[in-house]
Structure 1
Amino acid sequence: MWQANCRRMHNLADWISGTVMGGCVGRNRMDRQGSGRSSTRSKKRGGRNEPLKKERPKWKSEYPMTEGQLRSKRDEFWDTAPAFDGRKEIWDALRAAALAAESNDLELAQAIVDGACITLPHGSLAESYDELGNRYQLPAYALAPPLNLISETANESEAPEHTEKQAPPPPTKQEFQLRVRLSTGKDVRLTASMADTIAQLKKQLHELEEIDLAHQRWFFAGKLLTDKTRLQDTKIQKDFVVQVIVNPNPPVTIN
């Protein structure tokens, strides 16, 4: 997983350096010619700005999380965050900087932050600001793995090659609170079970918020969820967030 992250990090960094940073990169390079790289890091732009610190957040998931679940949780965040707040190019820069910092390449992470003109008031990617004053907040799981992360590689190496994949367990009826974030910025809690379909949850959201079923578009991990999809098919956990785009003017279909 981490080797793949490194490759993704360098690809993102190359793209950002060519298209996102723009004039900021040129300005930083001119600064480095006179004062060197270390002085550029410590320079404060537009108020308080701390250099990126090496410390990463330490956190523990409510349940043991595999590398695949962590990757899915992160992808869901990075795919949906730009649609609700801030600028996409800044989100892309923060994503590349987070991957670089997690790979212990703090120098590259700092260069990405400086090139995108991102201000870190506390020296952490958890909270930052762009040149327009927009605020960006990153959750702990986007910056570091949990303390109770389960290694999938170890489990796969122990399993014999001829072992067939076990069938998924039947849907459970155990209910939990599903967090749904509307495109209006409001968060809603729905009572759901892994056996529920998206159509059933749409009806529940309609009863709570009076949003017509035809005006709801549900997304998870950047993918559109159909009405027949069950929660267990999407691998949604109780602490995940499902995005709902509220479209007051759905497209008209002609039969």
Structure 2
Amino acid sequence: MGCCFSRSAGPNSPYPGGVPDASSRAINPPPLSLPEGIISSNPQAAALSHHRRRRDPRPLDQHINRPLRRHQWTSTQRVWTRRDLVKERAEFFDTRVVCRPEIWQTLHAALQVLWESNPEDSQDEDNALATAQTILTAAEISLPTGNLVNGAYDALGNLYALPEWVVADPENLADDRDPDAKGDTSTAGEETAGEDDDVDSEEAERRREEKGKGVLDEREMVTLRARLSETGRDIKVNVAKTDSVRTVIKRITELSSLPSDKKIRLAYMGKMLKENSSLEAQGWHVGHVINALVFNR
């Protein structure tokens, strides 16, 4: 009889019928589920319980990525002019010190394509969005909503926040001569002179190419490797360091046998290259790959 009374009656006993006592309750904590009464009366508890029951089955490396779309907005805080936007956008990207600098450069390059396009021209708008999307995709930049104002993420999950005035022009953009605008007008003449110089140099370069006066020294020739965004194929061309980007694009187009409805723009280190300037003047180094972005005319 003594052996029967010595049997354990706790919840961890190998014998059935045990009743949990105070000691067992202290040792064995209750389950994580919440009582139904608390869940029904507390919305936060209900949300927590729902979150515990359901988990996102997608891998962590699969980020939500929507197609790029144009952002539209109207300024209510200040009067923006074109000069203000150009100046403050340059300052914005020059002062980015967090996250990865190459991603900021890529975002800048994609935005430059959008800034230079004409939203009222549907074909030009479609081409600009396609080109900007190609730039972002090549750098593995994802857009959870498709709108850059809502943030962009790199492949490591870093967030890149962009204000509205950086992403797009306001619909109520003021004229630079508007007396109500607070922009700095001291550099207006300098900017206009710079644009005139670009046009003059572009025209001069075109005339030299047409007349065949550009005599190249073989000692200045280097091999450039351009990677086509459409196929990922590398095109090797022999160019001079002083050749304009326009000349390089022409040779790449000829060697790649692209259809007539396609055109190429070159990008290097996340920055779109100016066609009227040389590769060397824009920081290109011999041996580095140039990105050849292919899109419709």
Same fold (TM over 0.5): no
Q: TM-score, normalised by structure 2?
A: 0.34
Q: TM-score, normalised by structure 1?
A: 0.39
- Say which structure, 1 or 2, has more relative contact order (CA 8 Å, 6+ apart): 1
Greater Rg by CA? 2
